[in-house]
Amino acid sequence: MRLRWAAALASAAVVVVTAISGGAALATPPVTLGSSAEYVLDESGVLSSAQRSEAQSRLEQLKSDTGLDLWVVYVDEFTDPASAADWANQTADDNNLGVSQYLLAVATQGRAYYLSGDPGGPVGDEQLATIEQQQIQPALAQDDWLGAVDAAADGLTDAVGGSGAAATGSGGTGWLTWLLVIVVVGIGIVLLVMFLRRRKKGAVTAGPAGPPQPSVEELERRASSLLVATDDAIKTSTQELGFAKAQFGDAATTEFEAALATAQQSLDEAFGLKQKLDDHIPDSEQDTRAWNERIIALCEASNALLDEKAAAFDELRKLEQNAPEALARVHDAKAKAEASLDQATSRLQSLQTAYAPEALATVVDNPEQARQRLAFADEQLTAAEAAIGAGDGGEAAVGIRAAEEAVGQAMLLENAIDKLQSDLAEGERNATALVAELESDIAAASALPDTDGRIAGVIASTRQQLDAARAQLSGTAKRPLAALQSLEAANTQIDTLVQGVRDAEAQAERARQMVGQVMMQAQAQVSAAEDYITARRGAVGAQARTRLAEAGASLARAQALQASDPQQAMQQAQRADQLAGQAIQLAQNDVGAFDAGSGGMFGGSQQGGQSGGGMLGAVLGGIVLNSVLSGGRSSGGMGGGLGGMLGGGPSRSSGGMRPGSFGGGGTRARRGGGRF
């Protein structure tokens, strides 16, 4: 039975003794945790022996009820690092805590705390933030050190739906309630004994159950979250590698490029499995479980590989030591991006007078998004300059890195307009040529005998599609890529009809011509999807990324087969085109939902909108976490799309604005914590 008054008095006594003695706070580096038999480490001496025993019992109950482990550490001050989040996460990492193992770190005199958890675990970041704010912090604010243990355990139990949430509370439980619980439990035991006695003597008692296996739904959620986080890790690492190559050359970055290529291969395999899970073919529960487990393993391997290289990469760049030079370099890049933004805006306006809105949907807000990225870069460069003036190279490096990525995204957004302009022009040329070819095919088909009217039906259908395509290729609302797509479908149908009258050489030449046109269409669609998702990855979830990854794989297969097997190449290119289109639609849906959730501050995914400010654009672009909008805590978001967006995979997260860097989950952003 908990004696809450005794706990409060004991805590008060500790405070009084400390105040009288005037003892200095001891700065404590990350500590070594004990086994599950020692969940509580009280180096600050705020718990009595009885309280430590009670806290240990509560945490053992948490383990029994939920399968979760929670270690609680009390020290005077955090040091090496001094940040509560970094200290707790470093301790968790040093002690190899797993995804279902949590750590509450409290600096009793530093008045700081942090609940460290893996984003891939059963309790999400938002839930951890709620537990911190609504349960742990109130107890700590009252110096109720034992109550903080209860609060954390109760919060975790509630979060996973365990059985022990009502057993204890941070505010204590009355003795009458405890008496009622004891009576009910006693009756239950008596009934259970009676039931067991009535069983046949030959019944075999089952052995102790093993650890609960995660459900398929839990595996699917974790796999999706890891796919998003790992994809972001690789995207940010790729961009960082590009910066390093420009600065130091290819030779200095070989080992990082090799690690990135291997990580990408694992991610590609994971996305391939995700596509199999998402396709129309039903999967058995065994396959679903096995494939999700494989996805998780592949993503973890990718992150671990990048993490191994992160320290060496940071040593190569040495932004802290070379902050002034790096600052000047990013300033120059920003000036170039600003100079080209007006030109990109003008080109988009020109395109809008010639093409339909849906033809420009992936770039219509690019100038506004680029302005937001450049505004954010300007803010970060100003902060970096101030940090350099104050002699804080570490803080300067944070600002420089964030500004660097923001400028890179601004350039990507601007260049995407140029690429789409080129693709639309080429699509228009190819569509016009295909119209002429189809007219020739109609003439050839008309000369064939038609005993059952099938040829006449195909000719009529082809003419309808030709008329529709001509409408899409004329006027001030042209849709050449859509026209090309429908013309290709019509061409496939009529080609099958007249194939018999062509000789083998003519058929081969026809296939070679057609595959080039289809490849162009697919390449344009994949490129548009890639640019759109990369610059808005803070909002885009696993489905869109999976379709894009599979589209890229199909396009690569088409390119490999183009010379040797045009027919197979055409099928792969058509599949790439279709999947990339799905990726764009899914990504636009995610961005639209993200914008709606932010109250429209991001300006929408398919319209110019209003600027939400540099920081908001940086959140959408995945340069900084959504946590900057919610007190330093990341959210789960869009199927995992809003968490871990700083270039990293699953990790115990830290508060504050942290830009991406080369690396995986162990080097990326962390969430939560606070003062009390």
Last residue of a domain, one of 156, 178, 200: 178
Whether residues 96 and 41 share a domain: the answer is yes
Q: What is the pLDDT of residue 352?
A: 96
pLDDT of 20 reads 37
Q: Would you say the pTM of this structure is higher than 0.85?
A: no
Residue 203 lies in a domain: no
Residues 6+ apart with CB under 8 A from 591: 536, 539, 540, 602, 604, 605, 620
- Is 610 within the bounds of a domain? no
Residues 112, 250 within the same domain: no
20 and 137: one domain? yes
Over residues 240-254, mean pLDDT: 88
Residue 118 lies in a domain: yes
Asked if 539 contacts 620 with a C-beta cutoff of 8 angstroms, the reply is: yes
Confidence band, pLDDT 50/70/90 cuts, at residue 581? very high
Q: Look at 20-34, 94-108, 255-269, 517-531 and tell me which has the smallest mean pLDDT.
A: 20-34
Q: Are residues 47 and 173 in the same domain?
A: yes
Residue 428 pLDDT > 80, yes or no?
yes
Domain final position from 149, 178, 207: 178
Same structural domain, 168 and 113: yes
**613-632: per-residue pLDDT in tens?**
577 788 888 886 543 333 33
| Residue 659 is assigned to a structural domain of this protein | yes
pLDDT at position 115 over 50: yes
Count structural domains, the chain. 2
Task: Kindly state whether residues 127 and 20 are assigned to the same domain.
Answer: yes
**Beta strand 101-107 pairing with 112-116:** antiparallel
- Across the range 48-63, mean pLDDT stands at 93
C-alpha span between 155 and 529 (Å, rounded): 41
Give the CATH number of the domain where residue 103 resides: 3.10.310.50
Residue 658, classed as helix, strand or coil, is: coil
Using 50, 70 and 90 to split pLDDT, how confident is the model at 263? very high
Residue 196 has pLDDT above 90, yes or no: no
One-letter amino acid for residue 672 of the chain: G
Give the residues across from 512 on adjacent strands.
Answer: none
pLDDT at residue 17 above 70?
A: no
- Domain range spanning residue 654? 224-301+632-676
Phi, psi angles (nearest 5°) of residue 72: -125, 130
d(CA 295, CA 300): 9
**Which value, in Å, is the radius of gyration of the alpha carbons in the chain?**
31
For the stretch 316-375, pLDDT in tens is 888 878 889 999 999 999 999 999 999 999 999 999 999 999 999 999 999 999 999 999
Q: Quick one: 32 and 171 in the same domain? A: yes
pLDDT higher than 60, residue 74: yes
Considering the domain architecture, whether residues 158 and 283 belong to the same structural domain is answered as no
Same domain membership, residue 136 and residue 252: no
Domain presence at residue 45:
yes
> At residue 302, what is the residue type?
S
3-state SS, residue 306: helix
Question: Which domain-ending residue is among 178, 206, 233?
Answer: 178
The confidence band for 211, taking pLDDT boundaries of 50, 70 and 90, is low
Share of the chain above pLDDT 90, in %: 44
Could you tell me if 152 and 244 lie in one domain?
no
Mean pLDDT confidence for 7-34? 56
Q: What is the pLDDT of residues 136-177, one digit of tens each?
A: 988 998 999 999 999 999 999 998 875 433 333 333 344 444
